[in-house]
Amino acid sequence: MTGAIDIGGTKIAVGLVAPEGRVIICKSFSTHEEPSPTCAARRIAELLDRCRSELATPLDGIGIGCTGPVDPITGTVEDVDLLPGWNGFRLVDEMQHLLGVSAAMENDADAAALAEAQWGGGRGSTRFLYVTVGTGIGVSLLLDGIIYRGAGGAHPEAGHQTIDASGPVCYCGATGCWEVLASGPAMARWAIENTYKDDSLPLETSAREVCRLARSGHPVAKLAIAREAHYLGVGIANLIGMFCPDCLVLGGGLMEESELFLDEACRVASSRCKLVPFGAVRIGKAALGSEAPLLGAARVWQMRQEGITKAMSCS
Ligand SMILES: [Zn+2]
């Protein structure tokens, strides 16, 4: 069994994953319950230990998917907007110390991409793009199954590509980036700001609620969905134009409502990709659903082991 840890801004989940890609047991707690990384790491270790006792099984190793940016080489959490106080925390070292087995970490988008490539919608792809659309937008590129890394091992932030430079300001430093226009909170915020007295939406309205309202015919919610489809499509077109992938899979919380906007997003993308073989791109929804983050975390550790084994056999 592989121990799996998914660290998000809202929730931290841990579980055990079988070699064939099945989550066997899973436990979670709210990220806000343990704001200190040291306390969070201790609680993660306790939960994983409980999982391993309940199943009476040893752990081969531990994989971690963490909302980014993270340093996958040193296993350090960097300056993550959603994890204040974690900057510089050596999470991989801490987990290895607490649980006595080896650990590896990647950005959560890369982790989910590895799982989709192995067990989900990206199987058989050699030029694979995975896009997660939820609280934020993350993009991962796998070339022949291997994570593409930038200089110094950096994870490229294609979720923050500029779509409309006159758009709202984002914490990434850009204005009108993809995330600030097309993430779940961005869609909800636009709907709230564009309703008036008679049909005003409460400030805490979620993207899920906007989708429900759109289904019931709420005019502004329907416009918010149309806007989402447009911006999602523009971002997809940019990715396909830049990378010519053979497969592009979309996952994340907002994709649970994708029947409202994905077809239109693909139409928008297609209309903007006349110079590249758009028809050769398999575009679809992630197949692993809510299990993707833990399966991805487990795959992070498995891939690192496979890499070590390959390197040893070459030397
Ligand atoms: Zn941004």
Question: How large a percentage of the chain has pLDDT more than 70?
Answer: 98
Q: What is the pLDDT of residue 315?
A: 64
Residues 306, 63 contacting (CB under 8 angstroms): no
Q: What is the pLDDT of residues 178-233, one digit of tens each?
A: 999 999 999 999 999 998 766 778 888 999 999 999 999 999 999 999 999 999 99
Q: Which residues lie at CB < 5 A from ion ligand 1?
A: 160, 170, 172, 174, 177, 179
Write out the DSSP string of 220-239. HHHHHHHHHHHHHHHHHHHH
Q: Which of 69, 71, 83, 184 is nearest to 137 (CA)?
A: 184
Q: Which of 6, 178, 196 is nearest to 91 (CA)?
A: 6
Compute the chain's Rg from CA coordinates.
20
133 DSSP β-pair partners:
137
At 85 the three-state DSSP class reads coil
Residues 91, 105 contacting (CB under 8 angstroms): yes
| Amino acid identity at 303 | M
Tell me, in angstroms, the distance from the centre of ligand 1 to residue 217's CA: 31
Residues 288, 117 contacting (CB under 8 angstroms): no
Query: Confidence class of residue 313 from pLDDT cuts 50, 70 and 90?
Result: confident
Q: What is the pLDDT of residue 180?
A: 97
Write out the DSSP string of 10-24. SEEEEEEEETTTEEE
**Within 10 A of 262 (CB to CB), how many other CB atoms are there?**
21
Length of the chain: 315
Q: What is the pLDDT of residues 149-159, one digit of tens each?
A: 999 888 899 99
Question: Which DSSP helix (H) or strand (E) runs through 26?
Answer: strand 22-30
Q: What is the pLDDT of residues 221-248, one digit of tens each?
A: 999 999 999 999 999 999 999 999 999 9
For the segment 17-30, the average pLDDT, to the nearest whole number, is 95
Q: What is the pLDDT of residue 306?
A: 83
Tell me, in angstroms, the distance from the centre of ligand 1 to residue 170's CA: 4
Q: What is the pLDDT of residue 95?
A: 97
Tell me, in angstroms, the distance from the centre of ligand 1 to residue 157's CA: 9
| Amino acid identity at 267 | R
87 DSSP β-pair partners:
none
Q: What is the pLDDT of residue 10?
A: 85
Q: What is the pLDDT of residue 198?
A: 62
Residues 122, 130 contacting (CB under 8 angstroms): yes
pLDDT at 272 over 70: yes
Tell me, in angstroms, the distance from the centre of ligand 1 to residue 135's CA: 12
Write out the DSSP string of 153-197. GPPP-GGG-BS-TTS-B-TTS-BSBHHHHHSHHHHHHHHHHT--G
Tell me, in angstroms, the distance from the centre of ligand 1 to residue 174's CA: 6
At 80 the three-state DSSP class reads coil
